[in-house]
Every structure is written in C-alpha cells, then in structure tokens.
Structure 1
Amino acid sequence: MTEILTAEEIASNVNRVLDTPSTRFEVFYHNKYVKSLSNEEIAEIMRCSKEEVAEMEADYLRRLRSNDEQVN
C-alpha cells in the first residue's frame, strides 16, 4: 500500500504513520516530491536530534536549489 503525505502531515500524524506497517509513504516537502519512505525509515528520522533534522532539511533545500539552477 502507498500513501501520499506531506512532511507536515507526517509530523502531525506520526503515531499513525509509525503504526502502519507495510506501507510506503510518498513524501512531499514544500510541494516537491522527496522520496518514498517506509514507516521504519520515518521512525529512524524521527529519532534524530532537531539539529540533525535541520541539517537534513538544509541539505535537501540546497539540492533543490541546485537542481532548479541546472534546469534554468
């Protein structure tokens, strides 16, 4: 089963997400597709510190900007 969620929806429904085995979550962030994650992968991210999550977000945004610049 696949479910489409934004990063914000995952954050606000984290218990339901983590308790949904055998589901892939198609994750979007700022209306851009990020990747397909399992609930185990989401749980691993949720165990990260706020600083680690902030660095992941900054890295993702840098990649988006780089990709946008390559397209333009």
Structure 2
Amino acid sequence: MWWLLHNKNQAFAARGVHGQTIYVDPTAEMVIVRLSSFPQAKNGYIDPTSLPAYQAVADYLMNKETETTGQ
C-alpha cells in the first residue's frame, strides 16, 4: 500500500510488514528503500524512530544542497 505522510515535504511511502519501506520525499529528491525483518509485523512499533530518521536525512540533504549552491 502507498501511504501519504502529510509531512512538510509531502513524502509518501510504500509499506509492508516487518519494516519493509520505500520512502519517497519529492521535496528533498530522495528515495529510501528499507529491507527489514523487524520481529513485530506492525509499523506502529517502528514509526517513532523510522519516520523522524527519514525526515532527518531529507533535512540534511536539503541543507547540504543549500550550502553547496548558496540557494
């Protein structure tokens, strides 16, 4: 299934059980593919750490590009 995350970058993700994720952030021009075998099948156990981590990577990439281009 595809999930709209309603975050500031309008990210969306294809998500499966046990942490499988394809995370797409169009604003940061970033895709993260996570292969996982988390012991519990529910994403609710993983989301409190995974989703902020994905956003942090996007923020880092966008800040790095701003520093490089000066825009």
TM-score of the superposed pair, with normalisation by structure 2: 0.39
- Looking at secondary structure, tell me which structure has more helix per residue: 1
The structure, 1 or 2, with the larger RCO (C-alpha pairs under 8 Å, 6+ apart) is: 1
